[in-house]
Amino acid sequence: MRTFVLLGFRIRQEVLEWSGAWWFLATLVVQAVIGPLIGLFVWSAVYPDDPTIARYYVAIILVTLMTESFEQHTFSERIYDGTISHELLRPQPVVIGVLGANLAIRAWLTFLGAPVVLLTGLSLGTGFDWRSVLVSLPAVVLAAALVFLLTFLLSMTAFWTQRVHAVVGFGHSLIFLFGGTAAPVGFLPDLWRQVAELSPFYAMSGLPAELAAYGGSVWSALALQLFWLVVLLAAVGLLWRAGVRRYTAVGS
Amino acid sequence: MTAIEVAGLSMSFRAPVRKPGLRAAFGSLVRREYREVQALDDISFAIAPGEVVGFIGPNGAGKTTTMKILSGILHPTGGDVRVLESVPWQRRAGFLKRIAFVRGSQPVGGSQELTVMDSLEYQRLLYDVPRADFGDTLKVLEELLRLTPLLERQLRALSLGERMRVGLALALIYRPEVLFLDEPTIGLDVTAAGQIREFAADYVSQTGATVLLTSHYMADVASLCPRLILIDRGRVEYDGPLAELSARLSPYKLVRITARGGPAPDVGEVVESSEGMWVLRVPRDEVAQTTARLLQSLEVVDLAVEEPPLEKVIDRAYREGLR
Amino acid sequence: MKLLNLLGASFSMSLRRSMAFRINLVFDVLLAFVGLGTAVAPVLIVFTQADTLAGWSKAETLVLIGTYQLITGLRGTFVDPNLSWFPDNGIRNGKLDSYLLQPAPSLFLASLSLSSPLTLIQLVPGLGVLGWGIAVADVRPGPAGVLGYLLLVAAALVVTWALSVLLACLAFWAPKLQLDVFYHSAWQLGRYPTDIFTRPLRVVLTYVFPMALIASVPSATLLRGAHWPVLLGAVLAATVLSALAATAWQAGLRRYTGATS
């Protein structure tokens, strides 16, 4: 309970803090949108007569906005400049600060980006079945949790290396390739498609987007996501303990 | 002949005023409010070649702004400036090769990956220093700045004091005739600051360079500069020898007496007292009278009349205003 | 001449320094391949489903990606170390002040005097993909195509430099408006043939923010032959943009040094 109060407090604080940099957030929206947007253009050029492509990519863009994670900036930089030490000394889990910043930035990105994307989509005649959209919501929430966990996990490599941006960039490339942004997973060559459909990356973006755009089996989707959630949670826990041990041993 | 000549220099700039909050942030994109700030107001002075002048004043007095104008980074709003017979802000290459501006807050710019020697080489190319001169100057600087162990180190790996030494070397390798030093000892410990001071004194006596130096530490100024220019709120408040500054700023002297037994002295203001010893603050023109009275009324063992410490005088002047 | 000497000196010094860090070298090589992999893979997926992408064959698209990578690599080596995040890195930390005091043109010092040689590694996989594209093309590029291509790549480099300078100049008027993230996002649009975009966006990318010049136009010239109007237009664009960049820089400096009022 106390954790949630602290988290709520932190989120409010971060939302206010970021309000001064709304233009910078707007450039982050563009950054989040550009990848899927290019995918949309490419696949619309390949299949000019298929309206579901546009619907799918609008869903991908929205999922991307709602799941963007920047722990390599918000968290890793604190390891590099040493301010993480203060956080370690405070009587609250460090992850609350990280999570608070994460949710605040996502809220801003969604607030700034989603209306534009939705209006553009609807004006171009992209219709959604609202039942599918509602049903996909739990999957979106789980996807958001998965992206956060993966980014946080990779950001923790900052305890060991100076090149955390490259490491996280690599992770995000995998989401781009196997998650259904570069191409809808169904378009991948057969073997790759089977690998992608079981991968955590698909669970992070393509899966909820497909649920919203096409409908489909919610339960198998949630099962896949929950599986990866457990795996990533365990990995984050292990790496966190190892990282803190290393950090306190090396000192700074 | 003068090295630096400043007449009626003024500088004002417009600073945007912004209220906090999201709505103000949006609003300020459309229409901004400005406030006129007068950074310098009719400043005049002249510095002869080879002179070493301390430039002091409280924070925000306009010291750094003046330095930036004299070195050519800023363009003033009014007044006339000649440095080595050139208008600084035209930034002619010939002029820039004859001056250096070293800031204690950011002594070395450029790529931090490079070693000190690389950076010196780069300066040689940039300033067209002939190789022979470069070698000679480097030898001198290595000696004066104890540079030898630093030459192969990367800039990013230097400590604050080392950075300042390297910053000076980078600036002096092309033998500038006029040197602007802005807070060269800021953030340094006593030893490092002492080294920098010693170096500056040596360099000046060896090369006859003209130096304008700002510092918050009176020790820097007192040990290097026979002449001081004090500015406050963009105006010159004092320009003259160091020794006369405290007389000008503080109308008091300190009388230190030690007396056997007896009551405490009843003249002047006691600023310090301990067992049988008092320090009194006495107006300058009453010093003679007061000492006479003290000698009469007390059994005086020792008596000394002192100038108040410069550090304290300046501090008081900054806090309480100069006028 | 002196400027070339300075550029050469700073480059070779940085190169010798960065060679000292083998780990970083390995990392950058890996990074370059991963980066290019994520660019090539989507295109390969596309060509499992179709023979052409908005009129571009697989070979042409590969040439385009290779070219994009070349230009991006050169930008990362010579321009980005100087101009990226200019309000913070260039102005707030005092670099610009020190450039103003140095006896060389400030625009040269501020936009080209630093370099990051390791980034050149990106050229290796870039050239690989370029070669792959040429190898699988139906036609060999003719001498006119090759010459036109080289000219256009040179023009693209000038355009790249000028755009970065113009972006940096914004800092003189709106120091808080940092558009680097936006610029990098928009840059991604150059990685695909501009023909895939809808007409209004295509017009913007050709005439306003000329990403088409970076890769699409040179690649088309290499494999489809050179056309005088295209070459002339590119040279003109490079000239105009450089002039614009130099003018904006001078105006920005006047503002920065307070010479306007």
Per-residue pLDDT tens over the stretch A69-108? 999 998 998 888 888 888 888 888 888 889 999 999 999 9
B22 CB neighbours in chain A (<8 A) are: 19-20, 22
User: Structural domain tally of chain A?
Assistant: 1
Does residue A208 contact residue A132 with C-beta atoms inside 8 Å? no
Q: Is A24 on the interface with B (CB under 8 A)?
A: no
Each residue's pLDDT tens digit in chain B (323 positions)?
Answer: 789 999 999 998 877 666 555 555 555 455 566 778 888 999 999 999 999 999 988 888 889 999 999 999 999 999 999 999 999 999 999 999 999 999 988 888 777 888 999 999 999 999 999 999 999 999 999 988 889 999 999 888 888 889 999 999 999 999 999 999 999 988 888 888 888 888 888 888 888 899 999 988 888 888 889 999 999 888 998 899 987 887 777 778 888 888 876 666 677 778 888 877 888 888 888 888 888 888 888 888 888 888 877 777 777 777 776 55
Pick from B178, B168, B115: nearest CA to B142: B168
Rounded Cα gap, residues B240 and C189, in angstroms? 65
Place of tokens 């619309």: A44
Does residue B96 contact residue B72 with C-beta atoms inside 8 Å? yes
C103 CB neighbours in chain B (<8 A) are: 93-94, 96-97, 126-128
Give CA angle at B55 (B53, B60), nearest 5°.
170
Please state which of the four CATH numbers 3.20.20.150, 3.10.20.740, 3.40.50.150, 3.40.50.300 is assigned to the domain occupying B4-12+40-247.
3.40.50.300
Listed by start position, the domains of chain C span 2-256
- H helices within C20-122, ranges in order? 22-49, 58-74, 80-83, 86, 95-100, 106-112
CB contact under 8 A, C186 and A34: yes
Q: What are the structure tokens assigned to B186, written together?
A: 């800021």
Residues of chain B with CATH 3.40.50.300: 4-12+40-247
Rounded Cα gap, residues A174 and A146, in angstroms? 14
Neighbours of chain B (3+ CB pairs under 8 A): A, C
Report the chain C residue with the minimal C-alpha distance to residue A188. C45
Pick from A148, A167, A164, A136: nearest CA to A60: A136
| ipTM of predicted complex | 0.86
Q: Is C189 on the interface with A (CB under 8 A)?
A: yes
CB contact under 8 A, A183 and C42: yes
CA distance A62 to chain B (A): 25
C179 CB neighbours in chain A (<8 A) are: 27
Pick from B117, C183, C219: nearest CA to A24: C183
Does residue A152 contact residue A70 with C-beta atoms inside 8 Å? no
Neighbours of chain C (3+ CB pairs under 8 A): A, B
Q: What are the structure tokens assigned to B282, written together?
A: 């006495």
Mind listing the pLDDT tens digit for each residue in C223-237? 998 899 999 999 999
| pLDDT attached to residue A81 | 84
How would residue A150 be classed by pLDDT, with cut points 50, 70 and 90? very high
Report the chain C residue with the minimal C-alpha distance to residue A47. C50
> What order of strands is seen across the sheet that includes strand B300-306?
B269-274, B277-283, B252-259, B300-306
For chains A and B, count residue pairs whose Cβ atoms are closer than 8 Å: 6
Mean pLDDT of chain A: 90
Question: To 10 degrees, the CA torsion angle through A42, A43, A44, A50?
Answer: 180
CB contact under 8 A, C46 and A183: yes
Q: Say what angle helices B116-126 and B160-172 make with each other, to 10 degrees.
A: 30
CB contact under 8 A, B76 and C102: no
Displacement of CA C18 from its chain's centroid (Å): 22
Q: Which of A23, A30, A182 sits opposite C177 (nearest CB)?
A: A23
* Domain carrying residue A145: 2-250
Give CA angle at A95 (A94, A101), nearest 5°.
105
* Residue in C28, C30, C36, C38 to test binding to A, most A beta-carbons within 10 Å: C38
Q: Which of B14, B72, B125 sits opposite C101 (nearest CB)?
A: B72
Residues 6+ apart with CB under 8 A from B5: B46, B47, B80, B81, B82, B83
Rounded Cα gap, residues C43 and B218, in angstroms? 68
User: A244 exposed, middle or buried (CB, 10 Å; 0-12, 13-18, 19+)?
Assistant: middle
- Asked whether the predicted pLDDT for residue A51 surpasses 90, the reply is no
Residue-wise DSSP of B126-155: HTT--HHHHHHHHHHHHHHHT-GGGTTSBG
Q: What are the structure tokens assigned to C68, written together?
A: 């994009």
CB contact under 8 A, A31 and C185: yes
Q: What is the pTM of this model?
A: 0.87
| pLDDT attached to residue B32 | 61
Mind listing the pLDDT tens digit for each residue in A211-227? 999 888 889 999 999 99
